[in-house]
């Protein structure tokens, strides 16, 4: 028996019998597996620009996606109307990826085990809009008060509550209510002819109290203003290969781009990743152990169950430099004969799930951050980044600094203009010679894009030293 307190039973009148019937319809043309993904998403956004709340919005999006698998083939259809005839029609459409009589029966549904990762007394989505307004206004005031050279402040608070129900013809039955909140702040600083930008933000699967106690608007304001002021004095970044030290936390985007995407099972099943066939091989220095962990409480990249209804896991990707495993969803796990790691994720009911990262980070090492900096003769110390990108087939990846400094003779020097760092995924981590004892996860702003689908993710590293990496500045 399955519990029936889900919103989809209560609000939309869907019954357990209906779910069996929809799955049956989806398998009616001979598909091997079918699943239904019901989603009801409410979101709120409020933003401040020029010290005014110029925009506040709220929205609801609801729908159901039906997927049918037959061998390596996927049929998919969705509806934003949860009336039975609409869902049946989507099921019939998706069913036709297969041809022939029904072969697989629908198993009786059984609730999946799930984590309890969101320690939220009341979701941010339920908080009063005035409370959210006060947060963004406080951030605006704090950033402007930080320094008279801060001439513009833009701040936004966005939260959502995603309720999902996933049922599969293999008996999968999972529900989850996923809160997510994010604070972002951009400052523009101006001094004489020089202008610069600073950015900060954070959040997670947290309630609004997180922004009243752990990470206040003043914290984010100070951070963005500080960065903008530093960048006012930035000088040209160097060009060429040199030593690079990455600060802890968000610079872990290195892992996301250099190895994370290349280890997603779909690319490896198809042999299109630069990491294909490298399991058991050395892809990093022995100081590197990297995991993807969807089970960390309250983190932006964490989820109790993935979007196929499987519980998330802590998966070792690289252990002491040796490639250990891939990130998989149900389809790749089945076709590759490996375990499903609970990484099947999707942007919404309109999208087909695929292997995606959750929180990807490197475990702490033994070196002190001070020793790491001191060991560098001439290099770059990069502590904050914008985004990155990877070509998973040739392995080349980039990530772009938003706050970086020269290191000369073991001392941190002048701030540098934004520049892109470029490397090759399968060997970038072999250049890691020092790993700090100061592992940090990012503040909770990451969004990962793949095949046009965005999902929230986290990253983290301790302070790291790479002996060689190409720095894309303009100065010799």
Partner 1 sequence: MATHTEIPGVIETDLRVVATDVVARAMKAGATAAEAIVREGTEFSTVIRLGQVETLKEAGSRALGLRVFVGKRAASTYSSDFTPDGIDHLVNGALQLARVTSEDPFAGLPEPAQFGVVAGDLQLYYDDVYSLPPEARIDYARRAERAALDVDPRLKNSDGGSFDASTGRKVLANSLGFVGDSRGSYCSVAAIPIAQGEDGGMQRDYWFSSARSLSKLESPESVGTEAARRTLRRLGARKVASTKVPVVFDSVVAGSILGNIFDAANGGAVYRQASFLAGRLGEKIAGANVTVIDDGTMPGGFGTSPFDGEGVPTRRTVVLENGVLKSYLLNTYTARKLNLQTTGNASRGLAGNPGIGSGNFFLQPGARTPQQIIGEIKNGFYVTEFLGFGVNLVTGDFSRGASGLWIENGELTFPVEEVTVAGNLKEMLNNISEIGNDLEFRSSTACPTLRVDGMTIAGE
Site for partner 1 in 330-389 (CB under 8 A): 350, 352, 386-389
Query: Rule CB under 8 A: is residue 86 a binding residue for partner 1?
Result: yes
Compute the least distance from the CB of residue 225 to partner 1, in Å. Answer: 14
Question: Cα separation of 237 and 76, whole Å?
Answer: 47
The end-to-end CA distance of the chain, in Å, is 69
When binding is defined by CB under 8 A, the residue of 18, 32, 391, 467 that contacts partner 1 is 391
The verdict on 84 binding partner 1 (CB under 8 A) reads: no
- Residues 199-218 touching partner 1, rule: CB under 8 A, are none
Alpha-carbon distance of 443 to 446, in angstroms, equals 9
Stretch that binds partner 1, among 96-104, 162-170, 312-320, 371-379 (CB under 8 A): 96-104
Among 19, 34, 90, 230, binds partner 1 (CB under 8 A): 90
> In DSSP terms, which residues pair with 357 in a beta bridge?
none
Residues numbered 172-201 forming contacts with partner 1, rule: CB under 8 A = 186, 188, 190, 195-197
Stretch that binds partner 1, among 108-116, 128-136, 309-317, 434-442 (CB under 8 A): 128-136
Which residues lie below 8 Å from residue 270, measured CB to CB, with a gap of 6+?
none
454 lies in the site for partner 1, by CB under 8 A: no
Buried b (16+ CB within 10 A) or exposed e, 247-264: bbbbbbbbbbbbbbbbbb
CA angle 173, 315, 201 (to 5 degrees): 90
Stretch that binds partner 1, among 51-59, 102-110, 161-169, 313-321 (CB under 8 A): 51-59
464 lies in the site for partner 1, by CB under 8 A: no
SS3 of residue 244 by DSSP:
strand
Q: Does 453 bind partner 1 (CB under 8 A)?
A: no
Encoded one letter per residue, x for contact with partner 1 by CB under 8 A and - for no contact, window 235-264 reads: --x-xxx-----------------------
Note whether 27 binds partner 1 by CB under 8 A: no
Q: How far is the CB of 125 from partner 1 (least distance, A)?
A: 13
Among 1, 5, 113, 271, binds partner 1 (CB under 8 A): 271
Taking the least distance from each CB to partner 1, the nearer of 112 and 231 is 231
Nearest distance from C-beta of residue 425 to partner 1, angstroms: 11
Which of the residues 152 through 171 are near partner 1 (CB under 8 A)?
152, 154
β-strands 359-362, 458-461 pairing: parallel
- Taking CB under 8 A as the rule, does residue 474 contact partner 1? yes
Nearer to partner 1, 129 or 339 (CB): 129
Q: Does 400 bind partner 1 (CB under 8 A)?
A: yes
* Of 119 and 194, CB closest to partner 1: 194
Distance of CA 140 to the CA centre of its chain: 27
Stretch that binds partner 1, among 215-223, 370-378, 394-402, 429-437 (CB under 8 A): 394-402
- CA angle, 267 as apex, 261 and 271 as ends, to 5°? 135
Which residues fall within 8 angstroms of residue 419, CB to CB, at 6 or more apart?
Answer: 237, 400, 401, 404, 471, 472, 473
Among 20, 76, 147, 467, binds partner 1 (CB under 8 A): 76
Minimum distance of partner 1 from residue 4's CB (angstroms) = 22
Q: How far apart are CB 22 and partner 1 at their closest, in Å? A: 14
- Tell me how far, at minimum, the Cβ of 18 lies from partner 1, in Å: 18
Least distance from partner 1 to the Cβ atom of residue 51, Å: 8
Q: Interface with partner 1 includes 54 (CB under 8 A)?
A: yes
Q: How far apart are CA 306 and CA 319, in angstroms?
A: 24
198 vs 248, which CB is nearer to partner 1? 198
CA nearest to 131, candidates 192, 28, 193, 209: 209
399 binds partner 1 (CB under 8 A): yes
CB 365 within 8 A of CB 437: yes
- Please tell me the distance from the alpha carbon of residue 81 to that of residue 83, in angstroms, as a whole number: 6
Yes or no: say if 64 and 87 are a contact pair by the CB < 8 Å rule: yes
In the set 23, 26, 31, 63, which binds partner 1 (CB under 8 A)?
63
Q: Confirm or reject binding of residue 470 to partner 1 (CB under 8 A).
A: yes
What span, in angstroms and rounded, lies between the C-alpha atoms of 277 and 268? Answer: 8
Q: What are the tokens at 164?
A: 């999902």
Q: What whole-number distance in Å separates Cα of residue 253 and Cα of residue 443? A: 12
Size of interface with partner 1, in residues (CB under 8 A) = 84
DSSP 35-104: EEEEEEEEEEEEEEETTEEEEEEEEEEEEEEEEEEETTEEEEEEES---HHHHHHHHHHHHTTS-SS--S
């Amino acid at each position: 028996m399955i519990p029936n307190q889900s919103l989809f039973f209560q609000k939309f009148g869907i019954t357990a019998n209906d779910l069996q019937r929809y799955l049956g319809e989806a398998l009616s043309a001979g598909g091997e597996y079918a699943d239904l993904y019901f989603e009801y998403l409410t979101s709120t956004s409020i933003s401040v620009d020029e010290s005014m709340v110029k925009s506040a919005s709220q929205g609801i999006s609801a729908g159901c996606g039906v997927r049918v698998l037959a061998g390596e083939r996927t049929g998919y259809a969705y509806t934003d109307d949860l009336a039975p005839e609409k869902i049946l029609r989507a099921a019939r459409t998706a069913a036709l990826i297969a041809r022939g009589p029904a072969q697989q029966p629908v198993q009786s549904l059984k609730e999946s085990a799930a984590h309890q990762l969101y320690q939220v007394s009341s979701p941010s989505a339920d908080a009063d809009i005035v409370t959210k307004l006060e947060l963004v206004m406080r951030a605006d005031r704090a950033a402007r008060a930080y320094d008279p050279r801060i001439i513009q402040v833009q701040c936004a608070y966005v939260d959502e509550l995603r309720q999902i129900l996933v049922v599969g013809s293999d008996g999968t039955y999972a529900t989850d209510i996923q809160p997510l909140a994010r604070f972002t702040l951009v400052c523009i600083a101006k001094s004489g002819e020089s202008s610069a930008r600073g950015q900060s933000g954070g959040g997670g699967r947290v309630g609004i109290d997180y922004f009243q106690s752990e990470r206040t608007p003043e914290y984010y304001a100070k951070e963005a203003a500080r960065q903008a002021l530093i960048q006012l004095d930035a000088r040209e970044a160097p060009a060429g290969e040199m030593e690079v030290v990455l600060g802890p936390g968000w610079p872990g985007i290195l892992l996301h781009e250099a190895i994370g995407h290349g280890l997603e099972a779909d690319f490896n099943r198809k042999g299109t990743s630069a990491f294909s066939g490298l399991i058991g091989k050395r892809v990093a220095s022995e100081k590197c152990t990297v995991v993807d962990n969807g089970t960390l409480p309250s983190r932006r990249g964490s989820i109790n169950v993935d979007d196929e209804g499987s519980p998330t896991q802590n998966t070792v990707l690289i252990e002491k430099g040796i490639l250990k495993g891939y990130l998989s969803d149900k389809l790749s796990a089945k076709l590759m004969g490996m375990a499903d790691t609970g990484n099947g994720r999707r942007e919404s009911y309109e999208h087909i799930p695929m292997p995606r990262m959750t929180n990807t980070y490197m475990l702490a090492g033994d070196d002190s951050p001070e020793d790491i900096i001191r060991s560098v003769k001439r290099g770059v110390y990069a502590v904050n980044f914008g985004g990155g990108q990877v070509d998973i087939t040739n392995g080349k990846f980039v990530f772009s600094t938003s706050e970086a400094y020269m290191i000369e003779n073991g001392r941190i020097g002048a701030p540098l203009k934004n520049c892109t760092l470029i490397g090759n995924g399968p060997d970038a981590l072999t250049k890691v010679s020092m790993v700090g004892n100061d592992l940090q996860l990012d503040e909770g702003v990451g969004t990962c894009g793949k095949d046009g689908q965005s999902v929230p993710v986290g990253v983290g590293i301790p302070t790291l030293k790479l002996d060689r990496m190409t720095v894309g500045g303009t100065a010799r």
